[in-house]
Amino acid sequence: MYTFGIDIGSTTSKCVVLKDGTEIVSSSLFVGGIGTKSPFLAREEALKKAGITDKDISGTAATGYGRNRTEDADFNVSELSCHALGAHFIFPRVRTIIDIGGQDAKVISLSGDGKMRDFLMNDKCAAGTGRFLDVMAAILQVPVNEMEGMAQKAQKISQISSTCTVFAESEVISQLANGVEMPDLIAGICDSVAGRVASLAKRITIVPEVCMSGGVARNGGVRLAMERYLGTEIRFSEQAQLFGAIGAALYAFQKS
Amino acid sequence: MSVKEILGRFHEIAADPKAMKDKYLSEGREIVLVNYYTPEEIVHSMGAVPMGAWGADVKINEAKKYFPTFICSIVQSAVELGMKGEYAGAKAFIIPSLCDSLKVMGQNWKVAVPSIKFIPMTYPQNRKPEYGAQFTKAGYERVISELEELGLPRFSDEKLKASLSVYEEHNRVMNEVSELMASHPEISNQERSDVFKSAFFMLKEEHTALVKELINALKEQKPGTDKLKIMTSGIICDAPDILKILDENGLQIVCDDVCTETRQYRASYKEKATALDSLVSKFCDMDQDTLLYDADKTRIDYIVEKAKKTGAKGVLLLLTKFCDPEEFDAPMIRKACEKAGLSVNIIEIDRQMVNYEQARTSIETFRDLLNG
Amino acid sequence: MAEEQVKKHRTPPDPNSAKYKLGQIAAKAYQDAFDAKVRGEKIGWCASNFPVEIPETLGIAVVYPENQAAAIAARGFGQQMCEISEADGYSNDICAYARISLAYAKTKDCEGQQVPMPDFVLCCNNICNCMIKWYENLAKELGIPMIMIDIPFNPDYDVPESEVAYVKAQFLDAIHQLEKITGKKWSPEKYKEVMEYSGRSSRAWLAATATAKYEPSPFNGFDLLNHMAVMVTARGKKEAAEAMELLLKEYEQNHAEGKSTYRGEEKYRIMFEGIACWPYLRATSHGLKDRGINMVTTIYADAFGFIYKDFDDMCAQYCKVPNAINLEYARDKRVKLCKENKVEGLLVHTNRSCKLWSGFMPEMSRQIGEECGIPVASFDGDQADPRNFSEAQYDTRVQGLTEIMEANKEG
């Protein structure tokens, strides 16, 4: 039996085809989220890669901010529930998931059998989200995806103390003016995001294994800093961005 | 009227307080603005209409001249409305000094909205001993003399006594309807909110009459199918988007610890030598509130007990951004609820929200968690 | 308060100087509390504007969480302490002193400033209602009694009799409660002594801060930020009275000799409004000094002169501390300071931690600026959380203020 999961975010669309609730047959990821053609393209590609058509799908579940706008889904499921399912599928021993996306940060606590036990989301401030990294990257004129590589070259991680994005901006500029090296500064920025989310995470009892998901999880600088803050190893999978879609496909399997 | 019709009337009133204000003004009534625990009964006894001024979901522009960004938006938006003339025609605004933001609100109001007189109401925090009662009384007497100076009819204890009866009856029906609505899941959270919110914009005897109609009509109606029961807590819970998201997710508010909802109706009057003393006793007996000093933090136990008693499976804490009294209580509430096996979800809200997507995600997850 | 932080950058002070002695008094208060604890006595944590006369007369050792938090922040431990509270669920919008203190109540350790753990807390909300919530949580978390003196914000210019009566009754109640908790007894003779020392300290303080009227001022206003800790917490002690009198003597002498603790030429004289930005004391002070600006006065100069003739009068004084008074009274106090000390500009710290102090400051500073004909500049900062300040913004604002003051001089 094939089930289909689609995760329509604010900036990307992801799809997963799952066989019998145990095997990922294909996946796809397109830049562009709600209101673009990407959800459609992602769907087409995932089906094509799996070598199946709509008719072969027994159930489809949608998640992400755009989940209510898609008519193809049989179910729509909340993002965090999907993340929990997806993360547990990839890392069966995971108990804590830290998800840092473009707009918000979330921490999910799972019970031993993979059920969601508790969750927290960031407050209104943008400091601990991908948005903070985007703003800083724009100031430094460094592409976000190059931040990780540069952070690794840091000799002495600089301190970005401001939590307010506007203040952090002027702090970064004045550090630049004072001759702080770019890699040190970028490592400092990653550190600052991790610090903010770590204090959110600590509000839930952190039980290992811990894994990270969401777009920002791809940034190794943030992951390393998070390990330091939480004093525990953090698992990461290249499939972290697909957790939502995997979870949706699993949900569809459970319900079909 | 049918349940739907009555609820529709509550909604009209809650959604357009200005129309109510204009109606009362056209009837020749004086309007006095009130919020938090201002002595509405005094205003009522002096023939004026007390109207709640809890701000609104508006963009704050003018008030920024007076407030730094980190003052709560209830206070800021009320001043904004005042500056924009939304309260025009009101005689005075009685502002209590129960939190730091309310203290600064009073000071800024004087300058920002000089056409509506600021009347301070200074309450004691040490309200249990006799000296606390004395000080409360002195505060009420000051409010009375300011209202008289504004030309309202002279205060009489006799008339206050009559007003206390009106308020007592209102208290009673509000508690009754609150419980009754809990057993009628077909009433939406928006409708429930309207019943509470409209109380701030009507004379209490009129509100009581309408609530009684609702009670009678509801008793005739077969309760709808069960939903997921939750309790809410916070200062306000009236944002239509939040209420809609709760409704869409099949969550039903069965009880609350919300300042603008049932917290208003917990205390009653004790029999005393004068009506004014009875009114004093009501404030002094108030407890389980963020704004009132309580070293035992009984508000926290109250939430846990109330949730358990009403069968709520989780507590939704709507934390008003920059409300430090509420922020101080939040960690203890979370802990106490968790200990009691209640799920807690904390959402920061304010009167400036435009994007509710994060709140939606959070509420959906909360629903999933409760469905476990 | 934060004495060490300032000391690091200077030559060690003369042990016979007022500065040294005042620093010693502040340090000794912590030691006294530790010693009392070791002796098995009950000690308290006390709000800064709680009537110090009460524990002083009863001979009870107390420490001040606000001073502790300021010291922790000035020594660079503010952020890590704030983060401990935040991890417990406290919003970062909450006063940073409270966040630091609640973190200390949990960890019972911070090398920024150690204090003994309390057996009770003494709270007074005349500076803000945030104190109530903070102390409620301390009492609840630590399982100890809380004594609360409620001094409401007074919306009127004068203190009404009803308020004095209410406050007096609470003072008496607090004394009884403390007698019960500690087993110590109130002595009217001792109270009289405390009242006299407090009066002497206060008169000397008011006179010392008033020497700012001289041009140039015989002192750098940042000194006041350090010395005020003694005024708040220890003014009823003999040593405090003597040290304050010595401070006055030194300032007068400085004036006579044309000297000042402000190094460099005093080109501009400003009033600083708000609590110091303790994590950036150096940056904020240098930002002024580099431009020849001396902060000659702050509201502290006026606020801590507690002169009263008896117990009732003392109660009334406590109803007039800076954050308990209305816009007009607060403004007039500042206007007086500006005029007496020939202030040329007002620099306002919009303090994220203090809603009450900052909440009507935009209007108050506008009125002060108009009445005194001086420019006003404000900057965003925080008394203890280093994450809410931007040096670049501060610098730009101070520069703007300087340029207007310069233009005004050229007239």
To which CATH superfamily is domain A93-236 assigned?
A: ATPase, nucleotide binding domain (3.30.420.40)
Q: What is the CATH number of the domain that holds B134?
A: 3.40.50.11890
- What confidence score (pLDDT) does residue C4 get? 44
Determine the residue of chain C that is closest to B293 in CA distance: C132
CA distances from C256 to C17, C214, C217, C246, C260 (A): 17, 10, 11, 15, 10
Q: Please give, rounded to a whole number of angstroms, the shortest distance from the CA of A201 to a CA of chain C.
A: 7
CA distance C137 to C131: 10
DSSP letter string, C256-271:
HTT--SS-S---EEEE
C7 has a pLDDT exceeding 60: no
The number of C-beta contacts closer than 8 angstroms across B and C is: 146
Q: Please give, rounded to a whole number of angstroms, the shortest distance from the CA of B58 to a CA of chain C.
A: 20
Q: What is the H or E stretch that residue C323 is in?
A: none
Q: Supply A160's token pair.
A: 């970005």
Report the residue of B361, B363, B370 to disrupt the A interface, i.e. the one with the largest count of A CBs within 10 Å: B361
The reply to whether C82 falls in a domain is: yes
Place of tokens 């911070």: C110
Q: Please give, rounded to a whole number of angstroms, the shortest distance from the CA of A167 to a CA of chain C.
A: 6
Contact C89 A173 (CB under 8 A): no
Q: Is A143 exposed, middle or buried (0-12, 13-18, 19+ CB in 10 A)?
A: exposed
Residue C346 CB partners (closer than 8 Å, separation 6+): C270, C271, C273, C338, C365, C368, C369, C372, C374, C375, C376, C377
User: Considering its fold, how many domains does chain B have in total?
Assistant: 2
Q: Supply C271's token pair.
A: 């009033």
A124 has a pLDDT exceeding 70: no
- What confidence score (pLDDT) does residue A33 get? 78
* Among candidates C387, C391, C392 on the partner chain, residue whose Cβ is nearest the Cβ of A163: C387
Determine the residue of chain C that is closest to A163 in CA distance: C387
The reply to whether B336 falls in a domain is: yes
SS3 B131: helix
User: Considering its fold, how many domains does chain C have in total?
Assistant: 1
Q: For residue range A55-72, what is the model confidence (pLDDT) as tens digits?
A: 999 999 999 878 877 677
CATH topology of domain A1-91+241-256: Nucleotidyltransferase; domain 5 (3.30.420)
Angle between helices A130-140 and A182-201 (to 10 degrees): 170
CA distance A231 to A187: 18
* Among candidates C148, C169, C350 on the partner chain, residue whose Cβ is nearest the Cβ of B125: C148
pLDDT bucket at C5, cuts 50 / 70 / 90: very low
- CA nearest to C152, candidates B140, B103, B141: B103
pLDDT bucket at A126, cuts 50 / 70 / 90: low
CA distance C234 to C239: 9
* Among candidates A79, A116, A117 on the partner chain, residue whose Cβ is nearest the Cβ of B361: A79
The reply to whether C374 falls in a domain is: no
ipTM for the predicted complex comes to: 0.96
Q: For residue range C310-321, what is the model confidence (pLDDT) as tens digits?
A: 999 999 999 999
- Domain limits at B303? 226-260+294-372
Q: Same CATH topology for A1-91+241-256 and A93-236?
A: yes
Show residues of chain B in contact with A119, CB under 8 Å. Answer: 365, 369
- What confidence score (pLDDT) does residue C101 get? 98
- What confidence score (pLDDT) does residue B133 get? 98
Asked if A42 and A28 count as a contact pair (C-beta separation under 8 A), the reply is yes
Determine the residue of chain A that is closest to C90 in CA distance: A203
Q: What is the CATH number of the domain that holds C24?
A: 3.40.50.11890
**C80 near A CB under 8 A:** no
- CA nearest to B181, candidates B173, B190, B192, B194: B192
- CA nearest to A82, candidates A256, A226, A242: A242
- What confidence score (pLDDT) does residue C10 get? 57
Q: Are residues B245 and B364 in the same domain?
A: yes
Show residues of chain B in contact with A81, CB under 8 Å. Answer: 364-365, 368
A29 has a pLDDT exceeding 60: yes
C6 has a pLDDT exceeding 50: no
CA distance C74 to C76: 5
Q: For residue range C366-393, what is the model confidence (pLDDT) as tens digits?
A: 999 999 999 999 999 999 999 888 888 8
- Domain limits at C145? 3-185
CA distance B123 to B125: 7
**C107 near A CB under 8 A:** no
> Omega before C216 cis (within 30°)?
yes
* Among candidates B321, B350, B362 on the partner chain, residue whose Cβ is nearest the Cβ of A121: B362
Place of tokens 């959270």: B189
- CA nearest to B104, candidates C107, C203, C317, C128: C128
Residues 169-208 of A with CB under 8 A from C: 170-171, 173-174, 195, 198-199, 202-203
Show residues of chain C in contact with B324, CB under 8 Å. Answer: 91, 93-95, 130, 133, 355
Q: Please give, rounded to a whole number of angstroms, the shortest distance from the CA of B348 to a CA of chain A.
A: 6
Show residues of chain C in contact with B328, CB under 8 Å. Answer: 90, 94, 98, 130, 133-134, 136-137
For the beta carbon of residue B221, count every other beta carbon within 10 angstroms: 13
- What confidence score (pLDDT) does residue C2 get? 43
* Amino acid (one-letter) located at A239: Q
- CA nearest to C91, candidates C122, C130, C121: C130
Contact A199 C83 (CB under 8 A): yes
Residue that finishes a domain, picked among B131, B158, B185: B158
Show residues of chain C in contact with B332, CB under 8 Å. Answer: 137, 140
Report the residue of C91, C138, C140, C364 to disrupt the B interface, i.e. the one with the largest count of B CBs within 10 Å: C91
Partner chains of C (3+ C-beta pairs under 8 Å): A, B
Show residues of chain A in contact with B364, CB under 8 Å. Answer: 78-81
Does residue C357 or residue A220 have the better pLDDT? C357
Q: Supply C408's token pair.
A: 């005004």
Contact A162 C87 (CB under 8 A): no
Q: For residue range B311-357, what is the model confidence (pLDDT) as tens digits?
A: 999 999 999 999 999 999 999 999 999 999 999 999 999 888 777 88
Instruction: Report residues of chain B scoring pLDDT below 70.
Output: none
- CA nearest to C320, candidates C335, C340, C305: C305
Which residues on adjacent β-strands are paired with residue B50? B32
Q: For residue range B215-225, what is the model confidence (pLDDT) as tens digits?
A: 999 999 999 99
| Domains of chain A, residue spans | 1-91+241-256, 93-236
Contact A124 B348 (CB under 8 A): yes
Residue that finishes a domain, picked among B107, B129, B158: B158
Q: For residue range B188-245, what is the model confidence (pLDDT) as tens digits?
A: 999 999 999 999 999 999 999 999 999 999 999 999 999 999 999 999 999 999 999 9
Report the residue of C387, C388, C391, C393 to disrupt the A interface, i.e. the one with the largest count of A CBs within 10 Å: C387
Partner chains of A (3+ C-beta pairs under 8 Å): B, C
Contact C148 B126 (CB under 8 A): yes
Asked if C293 and C267 count as a contact pair (C-beta separation under 8 A), the reply is yes
The reply to whether C161 falls in a domain is: yes
The reply to whether C13 falls in a domain is: yes
Interface of A with B (CB under 8 A): 65, 77-81, 103-104, 115-121, 123-124, 203
* Amino acid (one-letter) located at B135: F
Contact C154 B296 (CB under 8 A): no
Q: Are residues B152 and B254 in the same domain?
A: no
Place of tokens 């209602």: C129
